[in-house]
Structure 1
Amino acid sequence: MAAESDSQTVWPEIEKAERENRRELVLHGAAVDKKIESCGEIHPRLYSLSLLNYLEVSQCPSLHSIHQDIRSLVHLQSLILCRNKIASVPKDIGELKALKVLDLSVNALQDLPEEIGCLSELTTLNLSCNNIRDLPLGLSQCTKLCSINVSKNELTQLPEDLCSSSSLELLNTLIASENAIEQLSSEIHNLSALKVLDLSNNKLQEIPFELADCPKLKEINFKGNKLKDKRLEKMVNGCQTKSVLDYLRVGGRGKGKGKQDGESAERSDRNRNVSKKKNAQRQKNKTEEEEVDELKQMVVRILHVSDSPAAVMVKVSPQVKDVRPFIVCCIVKGMNLKPGNAFKRFLVAQTKLHDEICAKRTAATIATHDLSLLKAPLQYDARPPDVLRIVPLGRKEMKAGDLLKMLQQEADEQRKQKRRQNVSGLHKYLQLLDGKDHYPCLVDADGHVISFPPITNSERTKIKKTTRELFLEVTSSTNLQICKDVMDTLIIKMAELNKFTFDHKEEAGSDGEMDSTSDPLVDSSASPELSVVQVKVLDAEGNLKVVYPSKTDLTSDVSHLTIVR
């Protein structure tokens, strides 16, 4: 099969990556799927791109397997193979010794090769939305793992070595919701870095009291499990993380009943020793628990579009359907960016979200605007490169096509100067528009293009330290839900940042950027509370496509956040 495919015309995306010695390659969508369907697999020339460190092949239902030649991509650090129909992964994947991120979510996998345990540099493993019944033994050998997501599979248990191994000292997130897991190992306390544990909607009847010995655990979710201890089940369904852990820490009601006296006494002694140890530690350093209590004061208030005298609406043009069809927007009020490093922290957080949940802008793109600098209503449109004009951040007005040419020239120059193949900044997103004859854009009522996703925003609506009302926009070519998930995550992060700024009471301009318009009364916020105003997205005929946040949005299980509707 590989030899037959090689005789066919090399895919232009692969040929371009080969010619330009690219380090990143994204293949996704209907056009790529059609090519895979015609030859039965990815073109084998792909596996000759030995310089690649980022490869994504997604949204291709015709992709059922990965060729063993994947082992040739020895420099791969991120391998994104989500939203396909992959049913098998070759054991050769274990030879990708530099791999840090492996995303096989939303496929048709039933099992995985044990060679996954050979990925010694792996930090992130996403296997969600498959049909996996057993995880491979040896995952504990991936000692740099920080995050594992195995939600929505058919697991009946987690591997014993996953919980019992003390070698996974960096694992902070374990998500295994919506499986059929019947028991959680009492060795779970060995995961010393665990912060987030989600085992909701499984078949657990008990939660081991040793879970309370995880020193950094802050978020747990056991909703949807029919626990024997009904008092504990009530706590769990109320998402009272601290209460649940305190309850487990003292052994819970009725713990030890039906056990031998010696075993009960031993458990009680162990519980007392654990409690003494934890009390001593809390007396010595209370910051972690105090931090959680303070975060519980975070409040996000949702204002319905009908309650807003100046409601902002977005109308979607039919032209975006085949370009970047999904968009979600809202307005956030009360964000204090003026004090200290608050503005910088917000920009850093946005960049991190782009790299992580947005998968380097391939899944979705975030745009933030100063609400006072745009005029509603807005239109989400798609225009040819020589028609779309924008004032990019930090540049003069130009056509989108000219902007991409300029960025490409800068990328080439950057490669020459730094003598390396990968590039930084906006340059690394240019390939996301390859092959598009129309580019997406958000246009305000004055005809100004304020956003050109996934490349840049406009200088006209750029946020500043003095911005207090933000218009947020998330777009995607993948699906609407990823837009909502990203927006949820962004708003929660904003609430955390605003609370941090409020608690630390930094002075305006303390980062060396004193604003001449600084108003101490404005900077000294009376409350870190944020308000989120709904924004409706309508189709060309005025029919409602989506409103955010709806009743089903921002239903976060984050224990330290209160949503007021």
Structure 2
Amino acid sequence: MASSTWEEVEAVQKENKYELSLQGSYVNKRIKNSGLDPHIFELTSLNLLKIAGTPIETISDSLGNLTNLTSLMLENNCLKKLPDSIGNLKSLKFVDISGNKLEALPETFSELVNIQSLNATLNLLTSFPNVSNFKQLAYLYISKNKLKGLPEGVCDPSLTLLSTIEAGDNEIASLPSEISNLVHLIKLDVSSNKLSALPYELSECPKLKEIIITGNNLKDRKLLKLAEHSSKALLNHLSVLLDKERATANGANNKGKKDKKKRGRGNKGEDSDFERDAISVLQFEPEKGLLVTSSPEVVGVRQYIVCCIMRDLDFSKSPNLYKRFIQLQTKLHENVCEKRQGATIATHDLKLVKGPLRYTAMDPATMNLTPLNTAKATTAEALVKELRDEAEAFRREKKRSALSGIHKYLDLLKGKNLLPCLKDAENDIISFPPITNCEKSRICKETKDILVEVTSTVSLDFCKKVMEETLVGSLLLGIGTGGEGGNGEDSNKTPGSDADAAVSAEGPVDTSRMRFPQKLTVEQVKVVDGTGNLRVIYPSRIDLQNPAFDVFRNYE
């Protein structure tokens, strides 16, 4: 390698590293003398590049060569522009360009479709590229710029994971009413801008818990006082104003008697002028209900399990409904399940499962199963070895540590002498969490009743959280008996607009504005320990308490 190559760059190349961090006085001195080492942009295996606190004003267009980057940290430099080639970095998930002198971002920035977190705070931005393609975006930080509005496309209904927008200290004069499309927006900071009013539709952001509006010259001074008291009080006030506005527009004066809380925030059982989505809960019947016994062997391995049954499903409502249900599970595994680190979801065709079930742990050498989508039985030991061999071959071929598919979860089994499994009354294994379901209970488009299983090493509460996400996502997809055409979609509609927009990693959403109300029937499943003591029954009376949908418990 040429003598002009920086030692940090040489180390990355020689040791096959995937991260390069450049900061500090020694780096700054070299940059002032001769600029960045151009060999940096030949390290195409890099996953993370950090250049922080330096005097650089521009980045070479060769940045676009680093197509494996998932993290790009360019904070606290003197950057005045970014190269157009940044659009080539399609794998980027985390971008930090804060603390620079950027006045604009290249239009190609909109092509970074996998961004999850974007920090452009403390720049000189007067405009922002369209962000409607950022379907994975969860965190957007654009405070302390010169923006006159939120980025174009930020209210696109498909941005279902967007939970935080920090846009304080800008020149924003108004917020779009479409902001209510952001079904998982939790925090909105628009402090110290030029707002004279707030859109009443803010009250229809079902997850919004924190809204910061100080430092604005609002005409309705009550809003500022309410905001100082609590975000909830502010949102309730906006809801009242929205109801009045709609009542006036519709000429319906009797709507003034409605509860002050917004649609979707009210108590269950209140009168309403629209039909809501609903989950109907069937009680566990001691003689007929499905019982799961959790054995002592699984304690310390993967001890927590929660189950329930979704009844009377119909995947024939639209051509893509079954596919979207499978995609729902994938999304939940990546997000709320924390890439299966927190929990794992398994689904089984109930008619293929003979109860009662036993959740236990076994020696992998004697644990016989037929993995999903295979016809040949194997042992857990042989399966894990085969997967590890495949993963190692992949690493050698691709020369990188990142894995995909089931191989990503092998590390969850490290150091385990016993492995968890769920067995039916015929002693057949139907699930091997967190790795695979089994062929015996595989679901298909014709499946009518599904046993849902969530296991975890974290807690029962975490299992319940994941289970609720699964049920609500299934409800919104429209796989239950209620609704029409899987959320009103027809065979020509592109999948992913309504139902997919409602599926996410943060929690249940307000569905009151969807065209067709959906219904889902859920039956309780009881889990007991080895001596018959109750561990958990789901869903219990304290579960499914979100006001975004109605819950009818058929045993009350």
Per the shorter chain, which TM-score range?
0.5 to 0.7
How far 1:486 moved relative to its partner?
Answer: 1.9
Q: 1:373 aligns to what?
A: 352
Unaligned runs of 5+ in 2: 1-14, 20-42, 54-62, 213-220, 250-271, 492-516
Q: 1:257 aligns to what?
A: none
Q: 1:492 aligns to what?
A: 472
Matched, 1:382 2:361: yes
Contact in 1 for aligned 2:482/2:520 (Cα 8 Å): no
Matched, 1:446 2:426: yes
The 1:389–1:502 alpha-carbon spacing in structure 2 relative to 1, beyond 3 Å, is: same
The 1:375–1:238 alpha-carbon spacing in structure 2 relative to 1, beyond 3 Å, is: farther
Equivalent residues in 2 for 1:363-512, closer than 5 Å: 363-395=342-374, 396-411=376-391, 424-498=404-478, 503-505=483-485
Matched, 1:220 2:206: yes
Deviations 1:217-264 (A, max 9, x none): 97434579999589999xx789999976844866x99xxxxxxxxxxx
Matched, 1:300 2:287: no
The 1:412–1:225 alpha-carbon spacing in structure 2 relative to 1, beyond 3 Å, is: closer
Matched, 1:325 2:313: no
Q: What code does the residue aligned with 2:441 have?
A: T
Distance in 1 separating the partners of 2:454 and 2:470: 10
The 1:422–1:222 alpha-carbon spacing in structure 2 relative to 1, beyond 3 Å, is: closer
Distance in 2 separating the partners of 1:352 and 1:220: 20
Of 529, 549, 562, which residue of structure 1 is paired with 2:550?
562
Q: What code does the residue aligned with 2:541 have?
A: K
The 1:224–1:553 alpha-carbon spacing in structure 2 relative to 1, beyond 3 Å, is: farther
How far 1:480 moved relative to its partner?
Answer: 3.6
Deviations 1:29-88 (A, max 9, x none): xxxxxxxxxxxxxxxxxxxx98475x9xxxxxxxxxx9989x9xx666657xxxxxxxxx
Distance in 2 separating the partners of 1:310 and 1:77: 50
Distance in 1 separating the partners of 2:100 and 2:130: 11
Distance in 2 separating the partners of 1:538 and 1:319: 13
Unaligned runs of 5+ in 1: 1-14, 25-48, 56-65, 80-88, 105-110, 128-133, 254-270, 272-292, 512-526
Distance in 2 separating the partners of 1:159 and 1:141: 14
Distance in 2 separating the partners of 1:414 and 1:221: 41
Contact in 2 for aligned 1:166/1:190 (Cα 8 Å): no
Q: What code does the residue aligned with 1:531 have?
A: T
How far 1:490 moved relative to its partner?
Answer: 1.0
Q: What code does the residue aligned with 2:305 have?
A: I
SS in structure 2 of the partner of residue 372 of structure 1: helix
Of 163, 169, 172, which residue of structure 1 is paired with 2:159?
172
The 1:158–1:248 alpha-carbon spacing in structure 2 relative to 1, beyond 3 Å, is: farther
How far 1:399 moved relative to its partner?
Answer: 0.5
Matched, 1:357 2:345: no
Distance in 2 separating the partners of 1:52 and 1:424: 17
Matched, 1:345 2:324: yes
How far 1:452 moved relative to its partner?
Answer: 0.6
The 1:494–1:241 alpha-carbon spacing in structure 2 relative to 1, beyond 3 Å, is: farther
The 1:112–1:546 alpha-carbon spacing in structure 2 relative to 1, beyond 3 Å, is: farther
Q: 1:516 aligns to what?
A: none
Contact in 2 for aligned 1:335/1:494 (Cα 8 Å): no
Q: 2:494 aligns to what?
A: none
Q: 1:334 aligns to what?
A: 312
The 1:213–1:298 alpha-carbon spacing in structure 2 relative to 1, beyond 3 Å, is: closer
Of 530, 533, 548, which residue of structure 1 is paired with 2:520?
530
Equivalent residues in 2 for 1:38-57, closer than 5 Å: 51=45, 53=47
Deviations 1:533-554 (A, max 9, x none): 2223333444433332233432
Distance in 1 separating the partners of 2:538 and 2:456: 15
TM-score scaled to structure 1, two decimals? 0.56
Equivalent residues in 2 for 1:51-450, closer than 5 Å: 51=45, 53=47, 98=89, 114=99, 121=112, 125=116, 143=131, 145-146=134-135, 161=147, 164-166=150-152, 168=154, 172=159, 174-175=162-163, 187-189=174-176, 194-196=181-183, 198-199=185-186, 210-211=198-199, 219-221=205-207, 228=222, 246-247=242-243, 297-305=276-284, 309-321=288-300, 323-338=301-316, 341=319, 342-395=321-374, 396-411=376-391, 424-450=404-430
SS in structure 1 of the partner of residue 175 of structure 2: helix
TM-score scaled to structure 2, two decimals? 0.57
Contact in 1 for aligned 2:308/2:452 (Cα 8 Å): yes
Distance in 2 separating the partners of 1:294 and 1:410: 57
Q: Percent of counterpart pairs with the same letter?
A: 29
Distance in 2 separating the partners of 1:555 and 1:447: 36
Matched, 1:550 2:540: yes
Contact in 2 for aligned 1:163/1:185 (Cα 8 Å): yes
Contact in 2 for aligned 1:186/1:211 (Cα 8 Å): no
Matched, 1:539 2:529: yes
Distance in 2 separating the partners of 1:492 and 1:365: 17
May I ask how many residue pairs the two structures share in their alignment?
432
SS in structure 2 of the partner of residue 393 of structure 1: coil
Q: Which of the pair is proportionally richer in helix?
A: 1
